[in-house]
Amino acid sequence: MMDELHYLYGKPEASALFKASPEDFRVDEVLGFELTGEGEHVCLQVVKKGENTQFVAKQIAKIAKTAARNVSYAGLKDRNGVCSQWFSVPVPIKTDIDFSALNSESIIVLQQKRHNRKLRTGCHKANKFIIRLSQVSSMADILSRINAVRQGVPNYFGQQRFGRDGHNLELAEKLFSGEEIRDKKLRGLVISAARSYIFNQLVSKRVALHGLAKLMSEEVFLLNGSNAFFKEAISLETINRLAEGDIFLSAPMVGRGDDNLTDDEVSWLEPFQQWRDSLVELGLKTERRNLRLYPQNLKVESLGDDFITLSFTLPKGTFATAVLRELALCTDISIKKHNKESDENITEQ
């Protein structure tokens, strides 16, 4: 699915393995704000290895003797990696709970601190990655691309947004054809997958025709640090504001509102009209997402004959795989392992 999307710097020559072990994929969640140190919620910074976020949340709930739904977290983190992230759970002010009982071979509590409100999904600022690619077939090609990637890559949604083998998109097709999805959480994931797929296709179209730097005669600009946007013809003012980083180019997360689309985007959306109509019927409004993803502080941490370790920071809601795909043709070993385990479980049943 991701292979069909256009590359900004041309298809890489190098191939590499990705997530060959959990230690090859390290993520540290950056909250971006200070916890108050007081309040009715306990925030936990947890490092997990080989566990998914929901599993950790359930273990926290058991220790706090509360329902799992009362445990919140800033963001989902990959099971197949070593990831630090923040959770929160309501605990009465006069009650002290030692959450070190959570510690195990796969979970470690780094710190716990009180806060005056629960952590909500998306409240964090960024994620810092340290990623090792192994069995690299052409190190020279990867190294030649790093400086280009520092200038930004297409802000594609990653494969995980669409489910195993694109299953979420299959469910979206059924939903838009009139089938009901009663599970609200699953329904939300399916709708999000459909919008993300259309976004990827529009960005890929633009990359193929114009790249990401050339301006169209009219753009919908996204304000830096905000979800606000405005449509305007290019001018000296907008060109200067782009240079200053005050505004960015964007692409649509489709819904209701042609006024929030350029004429080119309306044309590019024609193949997706049925899905777009369904999204409008579901009450979604057109939103905008940054067209380009800038990996901050992209560095080479270590280098060998056939491996390279990279570090960089990305804003919340963006995908490291969007960066990696411009460097090498990466095979995610964890997916192959997961598929094999699933197939073995099916055989055993």
Residues with catalytic function: 78
Token code pair at residue 99: 């959450």
What's the chain's Rg over C-alpha atoms? Answer: 22
Token code pair at residue 244: 């200053």
Phi-psi region of 221 (alpha: psi -120 to 50; beta: other; left: phi over 0): beta
Residues whose CB falls within 8 Å of the CB of residue 3, separated by 6 or more in sequence, listed in order: none
Q: Give the count of beta carbons closer than 10 Å to the beta carbon of residue 209.
A: 12
Sign, CA torsion 32/247/295/297: negative
Q: Give the count of beta carbons closer than 10 Å to the beta carbon of residue 293.
A: 21
User: Cα–Cα distance between 76 and 121 in angstroms, integer?
Assistant: 8
Token code pair at residue 270: 């024609």
User: Cα–Cα distance between 347 and 339 in angstroms, integer?
Assistant: 12
DSSP state of 151: T
User: Cα–Cα distance between 251 and 289 in angstroms, integer?
Assistant: 6
